[in-house]
């Protein structure tokens, strides 16, 4: 019995050793009790780390659609970025008023988008006064934000310091969108010179391009915007500098150049001959677009990327309509040119009144760092895969339900930081041939892009009075085109501009340019 007991004990001991060494597979070994030490003493159970609390962020931005988007995208965004987001959407048409009112009352939220480059220039005074966080020193801590293009960041600096993140855009995307079916009816090709462009506009008005036997068409449709409407694009064709240009050893504003006057004369000729909507200075963008998409007007000068929406709405009214694009035409000087933006169309600032300390700032910047990952950038720009877009040939193809995408995604799309080269989001897939052509022309336009030399420069007088004084020139330009002001009156307006602070701007920008 003793020998049997000893043998049995040996077998049991060996079995226990084998079991203990096996690591356990769920069948032959039991899980060790983590509360027991090797000596059998009880230890405290280690609690799993609590998930990090979502960062609460309030964001104010302009809304370019009629209704506030639902939370479809926001909910997914919060999951991906571990945030609790409050979006304050305000209509783009009145956004500047809301922005100024919120600033005056000290109620700007942690993240404040401006409206465009003009509102950024207006805000430079407040930036200098220390109302917003300088973020440049922190970007190196965030690997994705650190990918933003230095040359574009440089264009948004104030006194050499960086306070903003930018929403990237193609440098030169302006051009001509026209009715190709009308051109074909009249035996016209794509305009390649400024004279051919005028001829197209004239024949689209007087040549019965739709062949209905009635005098009911317009050559050009334009709006109350000298920058993003037709004027600035035409001005580049004529050889005008972009906002400011080199002259007499320094910088001078664009409107003192003869090419600017030639552009006004060109527009005046079109208007005097009633080849466009003669009340264009009082025409909204919506009404401008309606003239084209209703089938009444044949030439639209603006962003070539507008071609999708113009085509979609035009064929609803004129099913057999065909449109085509042209990026640049040769000007009177025999050269091609396309005016360029500074690589962004808007920026976002971080008010010190809403972000109290460096720790909070870094949490907000961490959200934007996550926004610049492909997964988040695609969500905000394209929407949810399978609902708002699908991937085709490695690109994002928008859903056929354009209304759903616009309602749920557009509000967020306009706030994505960077561009595909820096945030990794998908390029767009286009099956509309004219849009494919437009994208090709946009790339080509960069080769002849005319840049604003003052984009990275500062002028204290320009910051203080630039916007106000620009209204004086804007008014004089419209009056000249309308025939309410002759050349002498226009020149007097320039002298008035100089006397009110313009001459000081010239000195300051010229000095900065020479440094």
* Per-residue confidence (pLDDT) for residue 36, from 0 to 100: 43
Q: Which of 139, 144, 21, 120 is nearest to 62 (CA)?
A: 120
What homologous superfamily does CATH list for 55-169+343-425? Periplasmic binding protein-like II (3.40.190.10)
CA distance 69 to 288: 25
How many other CB atoms are there within 10 angstroms of residue 211's CB atom? 11
Instruction: Collapse the DSSP code of 300 into the 3-class scheme (helix H, G, I; strand E, B; otherwise coil) and give the result.
Output: strand
Exposed/middle/buried for 280, CB within 10 Å: 0-12, 13-18, 19+? buried
- Which helix (H) or strand (E) segment holds residue 480: the answer is helix 460-482
- Which helix (H) or strand (E) segment holds residue 397: the answer is strand 395-398
CA distance 287 to 224: 10
Is pLDDT of 325 > 90? yes
User: In the CATH scheme, what is the code of domain 174-339+451-456?
Assistant: 3.40.190.10
DSSP assigned state of 274: T
Is pLDDT of 44 > 80? no
* Per-residue confidence band for 46, with pLDDT thresholds at 50, 70 and 90: low
CA distance 173 to 183: 23
Is the separation of the CB atoms in 238 and 266 below 8 Å?
yes
* Per-residue confidence band for 118, with pLDDT thresholds at 50, 70 and 90: confident
* Per-residue confidence (pLDDT) for residue 458, from 0 to 100: 85
Is pLDDT of 24 > 80? no
pLDDT digits (tens, 9 = 90+) for 341-389: 899 989 999 999 999 999 999 999 999 999 999 999 999 999 999 999 9
Cite the residue boundaries of each domain of the chain with CATH code 3.40.190.10. Answer: 55-169+343-425, 174-339+451-456
Average pLDDT over the chain reads: 90
Q: What percent of the chain has pLDDT over 90?
A: 81
Q: What is the mean pLDDT of residues 325-351?
A: 95
* Per-residue confidence (pLDDT) for residue 13, from 0 to 100: 41
Is pLDDT of 19 > 80? no
Is pLDDT of 5 > 60? no
Of the chain, the end-to-end C-alpha distance in Å amounts to 105
Secondary structure (DSSP) of 303-355: EGGGHHHHHHHHHHHSTT--EEEE---B-TTS---EE---SEEEEEE-BTTT-
DSSP assigned state of 36: B
Q: What is the mean pLDDT of residues 470-479?
A: 97
**C-alpha angle 150/151/156, rounded to 5°?**
90
* Per-residue confidence band for 47, with pLDDT thresholds at 50, 70 and 90: low
- Which helix (H) or strand (E) segment holds residue 247: the answer is strand 244-247
| Dihedral sign for Cα atoms in the order 210, 215, 220, 224 | negative
Beta strand 250-253 with 297-303: parallel, antiparallel or unpaired? unpaired
Q: What is the mean pLDDT of residues 139-145?
A: 97
Q: What is the mean pLDDT of residues 472-488?
A: 98
Is pLDDT of 235 > 60? yes
pLDDT digits (tens, 9 = 90+) for 257-300: 999 999 999 999 999 999 999 999 999 999 999 999 999 999 99
* Per-residue confidence band for 102, with pLDDT thresholds at 50, 70 and 90: very high
Q: What is the mean pLDDT of residues 469-494?
A: 98
Q: Which of 178, 174, 184 is nearest to 197 (CA)?
A: 178
Q: What is the mean pLDDT of residues 82-100?
A: 95
* Per-residue confidence (pLDDT) for residue 467, from 0 to 100: 85
How many other CB atoms are there within 10 angstroms of residue 454's CB atom? 23
SS (H, E, C) 121-178: HHHHHHHHCCCECCCHHHHHHCCCHHHCCHHHHHHCCECCECCCEEEECCCCCEEEEE
């Amino acid at each position: 019995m003793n020998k049997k007991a000893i043998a049995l004990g040996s077998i049991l001991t060996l079995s226990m050793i084998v079991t203990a060494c096996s690591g356990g597979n769920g069948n032959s070994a039991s899980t060790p009790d983590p509360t027991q030490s090797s000596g059998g003493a009880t230890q405290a159970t280690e609690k799993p780390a609590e998930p990090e609390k979502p960062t609460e962020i309030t964001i104010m931005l302009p809304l370019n659609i009629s209704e506030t988007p639902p939370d479809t995208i926001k909910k997914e965004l919060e999951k991906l970025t571990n945030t609790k987001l409050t979006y304050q959407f305000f209509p783009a048409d009145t956004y500047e008023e809301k922005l100024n009112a919120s600033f005056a009352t000290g109620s700007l939220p942690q993240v404040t988008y401006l409206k465009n480059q003009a509102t950024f220039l207006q805000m430079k005074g407040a930036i200098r006064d220390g109302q917003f966080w300088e973020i440049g020193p922190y970007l190196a801590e965030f690997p994705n934000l650190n990918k933003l293009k230095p040359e574009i960041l440089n264009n948004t600096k104030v006194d050499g310091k960086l306070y903003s993140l930018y929403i990237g855009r193609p440098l030169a995307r302006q051009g001509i969108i026209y009715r190709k079916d009308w051109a074909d009816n009249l035996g016209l090709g794509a305009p390649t010179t400024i004279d051919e462009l005028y001829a197209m506009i004239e024949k689209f008005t007087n040549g019965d391009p739709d062949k209905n036997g009635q005098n009911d068409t317009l050559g050009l449709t334009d709006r109350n915007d000298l920058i993003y409407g037709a004027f600035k694009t035409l001005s580049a064709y004529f050889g005008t500098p972009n906002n400011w240009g080199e002259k007499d050893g320094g910088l001078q504003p664009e409107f003192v150049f003869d090419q600017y006057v030639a552009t006004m004369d060109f527009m005046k000729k079109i208007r005097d001959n009633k080849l466009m909507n003669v009340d264009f200075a009082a025409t909204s963008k919506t009404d401008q677009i309606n003239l084209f998409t209703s089938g009444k007007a044949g030439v639209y000068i603006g962003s070539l990327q507008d071609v999708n929406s113009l085509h979609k709405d035009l064929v609803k009214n004129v099913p057999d309509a065909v449109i085509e694009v042209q990026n640049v035409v040769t000007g009177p000087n025999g050269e091609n040119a396309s005016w360029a933006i500074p690589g962004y169309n808007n920026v976002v600032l971080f008010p010190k009144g809403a972000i109290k300390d460096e720790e909070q700032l870094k949490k907000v910047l961490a959200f934007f760092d996550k926004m610049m990952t492909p997964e988040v950038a695609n969500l905000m720009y394209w929407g949810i895969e399978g609902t708002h877009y699908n991937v085709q040939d490695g690109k994002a193809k928008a859903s056929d339900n354009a209304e759903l995408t616009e309602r749920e995604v557009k509000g967020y799309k306009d706030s994505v930081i960077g561009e595909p080269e820096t945030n990794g989001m998908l390029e767009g897939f286009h099956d509309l041939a004219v849009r494919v052509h437009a994208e090709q022309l946009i790339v080509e336009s960069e080769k002849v892009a005319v840049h604003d030399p003052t984009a990275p420069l500062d002028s204290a007088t320009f910051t203080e009075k630039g916007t106000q004084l620009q209204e004086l020139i804007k008014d004089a330009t419209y009056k000249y085109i309308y025939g309410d002001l002759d050349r002498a009156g226009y020149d007097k307006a320039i002298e008035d501009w100089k006397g009110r602070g313009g001459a000081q701007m010239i000195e300051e920008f010229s000095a900065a340019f020479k440094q």
